[in-house]
Amino acid sequence: MPAHLELSPIVAGLWRITSWQLSVAERVRWIEQALELGITTFDHADIYGDYRAEAAFGDALKAAPALRAQMQLVSKCGIRLRSAEHPYRINYYDSSTAYVRSQVEQSLRKLQTEQLDLVLIHRPDYLMDATALADTFAALTREGKVAHWGVSNFTASQFALLHQQHPLLTNQVELSPLKMDALDDGALDQAQQLGLRPMIWSPLGGGHLFTGEDEQAVRLRAEMTAIANRYGVSLGTLAFAWVLRHPSRPHPITGTGRIEGLRDAVAALDVQLDAQDWYAIWTASKGHSVP
């Protein structure tokens, strides 16, 4: 197993890069500014941007190849998503050896790199053969194509099944003040048990925290705005601080193309959130007190 991989405390998510309308030069500058903020881990998936996001990032690395040595590249595979180029009958999951290998090799080409630092199986495939998938992981590691492996959106038992066959680095799960299932479903307990830091997607609830008009979002926004004002930080910074407060030492992932948004996320590393304030946010989200 290669040496342990350190991800940056805040991870930049590239899900929406194709909608940012940045030229190659602007993408290079965006990456440089993220690196200047201490964000060195960049999170991709083969399907992002209708299968075009990785190439958009790769074009920037091709234009400025020295940047590659300063970062950790993460990608995901395992979802067959219908598109013009992929006219599947339905969306489905595929963790077969042939598919995982083909997607890893495609990600390497698109990202203009010889090795991916971390590859995650994007969603649990009900037809996953853990032994066969572990063999695929081992082969691609031996070939130097992937340094580390992990999963995304796996339950604790699904993680344990695969981890028993091949060491996994992380489970990337959803957690935000709006969506708190990971606190109760065992995923974060397992992360602590194994000493494996989880990655967290959608810590701002896909922006719903700022714009949602439903009762939960309105309640949360009111409570969190009051707390954020007390700490002298933005609502976004407080949401990241709430996630970071968890003892599993999670790596939250941003979804923004705005450098200001990245700054907001990084600012959360300096916020020491009081337990009462953390629970006040939990309470506002649930709409009731703890039992």
- Which amino acids are annotated catalytic? 48
Query: How far is it between the farthest Cα atoms of the chain?
Result: 55
| Helices of type H across the chain | 24-36, 48-51, 53-63, 97-110, 130-142, 156-163, 187-194, 208-211, 215-231, 235-244, 259-267, 275-286
**How far out from the chain centre does Cα 141 lie?**
21
Give dist(CA 122, CA 40) in Å, integer.
21
Tell me the three state secondary structure of residue 32: helix
Give dist(CA 287, CA 220) in Å, integer.
9
Tell me the three state secondary structure of residue 277: helix
Find residue 42's DSSP bridge partners: 12, 73
Q: What are phi and psi of 249, to 5 degrees?
A: 55, 60
H-helix or E-strand spanning residue 77: strand 72-77
Give dist(CA 288, CA 101) in Å, integer.
47
Give dist(CA 139, CA 253) in Å, integer.
29
